[in-house]
Chains A and B, each alone.
Chain A
């Protein structure tokens, strides 16, 4: 069986270094398998997060050969194994230990976003009607598994550490999903522009490139949001547009109910 070498970052908030390990490579193996093998045989206290092993939970984010990746979806056969494979923790967040980072900031940011608030139910059975075409895009954003790889790669957070001024791509599309939800009645444009810092995004699209769910973060989410924010700011009558839009949505839905 082939043997591959791994350089894995070991350490904590104070200090750390890359250490060498080896693993036997079997067919179909992913990076997370190698980490588990190393845990079971050479470094039982090597810390990493994982749950589903199938790209569904967003726990196992790390930087593999410098690229932000889900370890469970990165095949060893796609990496050049003649060189050591480096595995490091995400850089945009403080290290806890080894590959585990402190991502609690993300949970705090989300809590501050105005929650979903639906209009009163208006279908005869006490619920709502929504057309599939009207929710396709919202569903695309809701595929997000909160792996925070997009947050990791966004230069506003990674290089400029503007965590207190900018919510990052993950939460911009979270806001977009809420704003585009056909039933929602809240307005989040004011805070998007001010406290959430949408203006700091200069559409480099790095976030979209790393998203394991292939969500079109920038094109489908951030850019339309930016347009709305700009319209709203320069055009105080922007609310009329929104009001008209929500009214026409409702009319379409009325038609469905008939």
Chain B
């Protein structure tokens, strides 16, 4: 083996978003040596983009809120295929995690009596999202980053992990490259926490950045962990649709929380006609009540625009398909109308939604205090991911933990807005704590040099490929994105997904023949070629899981099985790598929910 630079940590955290930073802080506080790797610069991970807020039952704005209501909301939103224990821990621990951020310097918006302000969001019964205008993610990541750098964590910025290394069953390290110079590095560790985020780059229209290539999902799968719920990809109802260059960029749900309404080209608020049965009792049946809800009147019920994301997205698709869309193929989202209701509406909008104001003004020449926006669904989040133990966040591979978007279980079939940022904190902390414990109880393992060599050799093939072919990695990525968008998108059916699987197979073959120019120093073409492998694994996993779930539930809508099927309400889909290296999918029964939680759900119905 050539002499690769080698680092040694007790705990290695892969990913420096909210989950990774929180895990690193916790592990470090437990007294072990912690390394943190990330593909971008520190503070630039996806978490920075989160807008609306962090869900936690602090009950600062409505004293009726508590963990039980939050738990019931999360389970209802996830259509009861969530891991109940994760939903329980999350609801119970989120308030403390948010207060902890304040103790580390975060400055949330305040209530009149000086406490943390909370706002309404879809699927949450009470105003529950702690926030800072519409830049909550920035506040969160900066707080964690600024706190974290003083905790003695070794940060390796702009490094990409290509493979996990095992010693027998256990994971003992990771192998990757430094983006700047292209040099390979070995990271030895007693425990590893994956916190790599999502998969949005598998789709053409997405709110996600280049980083979201499903690396953690693929690394874990390759190392022998299981992935669950991969069919559940969240399409956020409101992404920008015009101009083309900004298609997919997110428009926060906070717009609707502040009173924004959805309308079709005829000016009709179509959401009132499509309130699902299980939400009817909690949803306003007239416009006035909806507005009063947004104004904080406790006797009012939420407007139908704030129904869960899966549902709102489908209604928007229906409007567009049936010819009632806006000129650029979306629907209208209007916040400017609130000027009929309040003086200084323009000022109010700019203060509550400053970055939305800015984003539309600068990128689309639209003044949202005067004009409606045009919006349509965008690929946003994946509920599925690495299957972990709910308390410790360890996967079935000893020493391998996962937290945040790349782990699964808390969200079930659909995530409620705001539940991701709280998930990162609650389970990031737990992963850090238990990874540190694991590290203390185990010693460093042996690094398999042959494996390291093999990964390194494979990684540089795109430079030597003149004789292998000359596929452009960007073109393969683009073709894959179109396939997933068109064939495994919001509305799915068996034949299209079979077609998608076949195409994915052909993309795999093309991906083996990529050729890139230039050298290994900061070479995006090469990086894109390397990311393809992960994108293809997660795309295949999503498709196979979606085929297996022959029903419509939450984010998965099958036109060939348009209804919910009780049998599928008791199972998760589970993906793993077979001994022959092919992808296996099977149905795994949900863990039995204890009576005290069942009762809570009944009471909150």
Contacts and interface: CB of A to CB of B under 8 A. Distances in A.
A143 B142 CA distance: 10
A253 interface: yes
Contacts of B40: 49, 51, 57, 59
A106 B148 CA distance: 16
Interface in A122-159: 127-132, 135, 138-139, 142-143, 145-146
B115 A54 contact: no
16 contacts: A29-B245, A44-B523, A45-B518, A52-B49, A54-B355, A54-B363, A55-B359, A58-B43, A59-B40, A73-B363, A96-B522, A107-B149, A115-B146, A143-B138, A145-B138, A184-B105
A59 B526 CA distance: 20
A26 interface: yes
A173 B253 CA distance: 30
Given A58-B44, A100-B522, A132-B109, A51 B355 contact: no
Interface string B493-519: 000000000000000000000001111
B516 to A, nearest CB: 6
Interface string A91-114: 000001110100110010011000
Given A44-B472, A111-B150, A51 B211 contact: yes
A80 interface: no
Interface residues of A, number: 59
A49 B139 CA distance: 21
Nearest to A39: B524
Nearest to A126: B99
Nearest to B240: A54
Given A45-B526, A130-B110, A53 B209 contact: yes
Contacts of A73: 362-363
A115 B109 contact: no
A33 interface: yes
Interface of A: 12, 26-30, 33, 39-40, 44-59, 73, 75, 96-98, 100, 103-104, 107, 110-111, 115-116, 118, 121, 127-132, 135, 138-139, 142-143, 145-146, 178, 181, 184, 253, 256-257
Contacts of A111: 149-150
Contacts of B524: 39, 44-48
Contacts of B526: 45
Given A51-B210, A127-B115, A253-B114, A28 B525 contact: no
B561 interface: no
Interface of B: 40-46, 48-49, 99, 102-105, 107, 109-110, 113-115, 132-133, 135, 137-139, 142, 146-147, 149-150, 157, 180, 209-211, 242-246, 249-250, 355, 358-359, 362-364, 472-475, 478, 516-519, 521-526, 528
Given A44-B472, A45-B518, A51-B211, A142 B107 contact: yes
A76 to B, nearest CB: 9
Contacts of A253: 114
Nearest to B181: A96
Contacts of B525: 39, 44-45
B54 to A, nearest CB: 15
Contacts of B113: 129, 256-257
A56 B49 contact: yes
Nearest to B117: A132
Given A26-B244, A27-B244, A75-B362, A110 B49 contact: no
Q: Sorted from nearest, which 8 A-B pairs have the closest CB atoms? A: A28-B243, A44-B525, A45-B518, A129-B114, A116-B105, A47-B522, A40-B474, A97-B522
Contacts of B43: 57-58, 146
A116 B146 contact: yes
A58 B49 CA distance: 11
Which residue of A26, A44, A146, A257 has the most chain B CB atoms within 10 A of its CB atom? A44
Contact of B107 (A33, A39, A48, A138): A138
Q: Is chain A's interface secondary structure helix, strand, loop, or mixed overall?
A: loop
B543 to A, nearest CB: 25
A19 to B, nearest CB: 13
A34 to B, nearest CB: 9
Contacts of A178: 105
A51 B209 contact: yes
B467 to A, nearest CB: 19
Contacts of B103: 118, 121
A173 B521 CA distance: 34
Contact of A26 (B46, B243, B518): B243
A128 B132 CA distance: 17
Given A53-B209, A184-B105, 7 more contacts: A44-B523, A53-B249, A54-B250, A58-B43, A97-B522, A98-B522, A104-B157
Given A45-B524, A49-B41, A129 B518 contact: no
A93 B294 CA distance: 47
Contact of B99 (A47, A127, A145): A127
A120 to B, nearest CB: 10
A55 B524 CA distance: 21
A100 B358 CA distance: 26
A181 B143 CA distance: 13
A104 B156 CA distance: 11
Contacts of B472: 40, 44
A45 B523 contact: yes
A54 B516 contact: no
B355 A56 contact: yes
Given A12-B521, A28-B242, A100-B522, A143 B150 contact: no
A59 B41 contact: yes
A213 to B, nearest CB: 9
B244 to A, nearest CB: 6
A39 B43 CA distance: 25
B430 to A, nearest CB: 22
Contacts of B521: 12, 47, 96-97
Given A39-B525, A49-B41, A59-B44, A44 B107 contact: no
A40 B525 CA distance: 8
Contacts of B363: 28, 30, 54, 73, 75
B522 A139 contact: no
Nearest to A116: B105
Contacts of A47: 521-524
Contacts of B355: 54-56
Given A55-B359, A127-B102, A129-B114, A44 B517 contact: yes
B362 A50 contact: no
A75 B243 CA distance: 11
Contacts of B473: 44
Contacts of A40: 472, 474-475, 478
A120 B103 CA distance: 9
Contacts of B104: 116
Nearest to B247: A28
A15 to B, nearest CB: 14
A140 to B, nearest CB: 10
Contacts of A28: 242-246, 363-364
A53 B246 contact: yes
A152 to B, nearest CB: 15
A8 to B, nearest CB: 13
Nearest to B98: A127
Contacts of A104: 157
A27, A46, A143 — most chain B CB neighbours (10 Å): A143
Contacts of A56: 48-49, 135, 137-138, 355
